[in-house]
């Protein structure tokens, strides 16, 4: 079932259904838990005002006003656009325990969240540019 983007999104698609609409890098990041190299993604140093959406299902994920420079080389945000757009998963890969963040609507892998961000949340959502699209506020 698919709802329009102003609703809380529920999308029942198989990850393979996204393969034709995404680039190979976007698919690898979103549905094969890949990551882009730091300082290479199109949004790591992006400063325009608007909303960052899930590249797979177009769910609004992060407002530009919550983006900050973390020095990590990936787009970083201190909070999602709303509480109901992110799904949190324990990630025990690579010999460490981290909290993975996924799009709640389509389960696309976005990145990870860490507890070393700025006020007011203290969170750093470290997100792959390849998992995002951007809509300018203008």
Question: 75: which residues sit within 8 A by CB, 6+ positions away?
Answer: 41, 43, 44, 46, 52, 62, 67, 126, 127, 128, 129, 132
Catalytic residue among 30, 57, 106, 126: 126
The token pair that represents 90 in the structure block: 């324990």
Q: Is residue 103 among the annotated active site residues?
A: no
Helix (H, G, I), strand (E, B) or coil at 29: helix
The residues carrying an active-site annotation are 126
């Amino acid at each position: 079932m698919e709802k329009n983007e102003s609703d809380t999104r529920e999308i029942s698609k198989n990850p393979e259904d996204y393969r034709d609409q995404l680039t190979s890098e976007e698919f690898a990041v979103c549905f094969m838990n890949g990551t882009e190299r730091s300082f290479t993604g199109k949004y790591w140093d992006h400063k325009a005002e608007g909303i960052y959406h899930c590249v797979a299902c177009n769910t609004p994920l992060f407002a530009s006003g919550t983006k900050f420079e973390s020095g990590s080389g990936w787009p970083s945000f201190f909070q999602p656009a709303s509480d109901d757009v992110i799904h949190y998963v324990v990630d025990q890969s690579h010999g460490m325990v981290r909290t993975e963040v996924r799009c709640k609507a389509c389960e696309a892998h976005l990145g990870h969240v860490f507890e070393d961000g700025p006020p007011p949340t203290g969170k750093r959502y470290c997100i792959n540019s390849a998992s995002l699209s951007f809509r300018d506020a203008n």
